[in-house]
Amino acid sequence: MPTLTDVEWIFVVLAALYLGESLVWVRPGVVAFVSRWGAIGSSRRCRRLTGNEQGDLVLAGLLPFDVTVLSEPLPLSMGRQGVVAFVAAAPLQRDRRPQSGEYFAWDELRKATAKGRNVNVGDRWLCTNRTERIAAHLAAKLRELADCQPDDRTQRIEAWRAEQFDSARVRKRIRTWEEATVAVRIGATLLSCWLGLGVMLYLGWLPLAPDGWIVAIYLAIFFVLWWATALAALLGHRYLYPRDRLGRLKQVLYSLLSPAVPLRLADALGRELLEFEHPLAVSAALDSPEQFRSVAQRVIRDAIYPQMPEEPVELTEAAHQVMHESRQADLQHLQRLLAVREVSFDPLLAPPTTEQSEAQSYCPRCHSDFLLPLSHCDACGSRPTVAYSSHA
C-alpha cells in the first residue's frame, strides 16, 4: 500500500475537515433546508447520514457559498391562561421532540430563565432549544409576556405567532444574510480555488516548478485569503448577531485553527439566522411552487392528524383550553400561508395513490399502507388508519 507524503497528508486532513464542517447535527424538532449550488431560492432537505433519539447527522451543501437554514417551530402551546410544554404537531419530522407536557400559568412564567439550551421555570424544565442564544431569547420573551396585562398579552402572543408564520420576514432575514456574507462567500470561493491550485502545483499539472519562491508566494497568498475570509466572517457575525460576543470569539478561535473553517463560515452564519419560524413559512420563502406544495402536504397532514397522543395525559381544564387555542391559531396561520401561495387546503388531505392492490387502509399522517381495513400506525404513535373504501 503506497504511503502518503507529509504534503499529501495535509491535503487529506483539510478535505476531511472541510467535510466535517459540512455536516450538521439536527436536534429533534428542528428542520434543515439547504441551498442547491448556492441558489437559496431552490432549497432542498438535507441528506440524513445517521442519527439516534438525540438527533440526526445530515449533509449540508458542499460548496463554499451554500447555506443551511434551520427551522425550529416554537416548542410551546401558548394561550390566554398560560403555556403548555407540549405541541402535538411535528412538521417534517418522524417523531416529536422530548416534551414534559407540564402546564405553566403566566404568573409562574415571570421566573423563566435560560440555563444553557434549556429554559426552566424555577426548578421545573420547560423546554430545550437548539442554541443557548435562542433559549435566552425565549426565556426573556416569556418573562416579557408574563409581565403584560391579560388583554395586552393576548395581542402580543398573536403578533408573535404571526411572525413565526411570516414568509416575508424569512425572506428579509435571508437577504440580510446575503448582504452580510458577500465578502465571506467570495473569500471562501477564492480560498477553495487557491487550495485546488496548490494541489495541481504539487502534482505537477502546472507549467511551474514548486521551488522556494513559488512556494513562498503561494503560501503568502494562501494566508492572506485565509485570514481575510476569517475577518469578513467576523464582521458578518457582528452584523447578524451583534449581541453574541461569545459566539463571535468562538468563531475567531476556530477560524485560526484550520483554513477549512473559513471555507464553511458563510453556511455556519446562516444556521442561526431563524429562531421559531415555522417550516412552512421557510418553504414559502425559499421553495418553488411544486416544492412548497409537497412540503405543505406533509405539514397539513401532520397538523390535522398529529402523532398520538395528541395531548398530554391528565391535563387540567385550563391546560386543555391552552392546547386547543394554540392548535387552532396555528392551523389558521397555516391556512393563510396556503391562501397566499394559492394552494387549496382540502386536496392536501386526499388519500394517497397506492401501488399495492391488497392495501385496505392508510395512515392519514404518513400515508403508509396497511393490509387491514382497520389498523394502527406504530410509526405515528398508534394512530388509527383510514379505510380506502371510505373515500369510494
- Summarize pLDDT for 26-48 with one digit per residue, the tens: 888 898 888 877 666 555 566 77
Q: What is the band of 228 on the pLDDT scale with cuts at 50, 70, 90?
A: very high
pTM equals: 0.89
The DSSP bridge pattern shows strands 55-59 and 68-71 to be unpaired
In single-letter form, the type of residue at position 371 comes to L
Q: Contacts for 219-225 with beta carbons within 8 Å, 24 or more apart? A: 221/194, 222/191, 222/194, 222/195, 222/198, 222/259, 225/187, 225/190, 225/191, 225/194
| Residue in 75, 74, 288 with CA at minimum distance from that of residue 164 | 74
DSSP-assigned letter for residue 80: S
Cβ atoms of 16 and 53 closer than 8 Å? no
Q: How far is CA 348 from CA 14, 167, 354, in A?
A: 46, 20, 16
Does residue 259 carry a pLDDT above 60? yes
For the segment 296-301, the average pLDDT, to the nearest whole number, is 95
pLDDT top residue among 196 and 45: 196
C-alpha cell at 51: 442519527
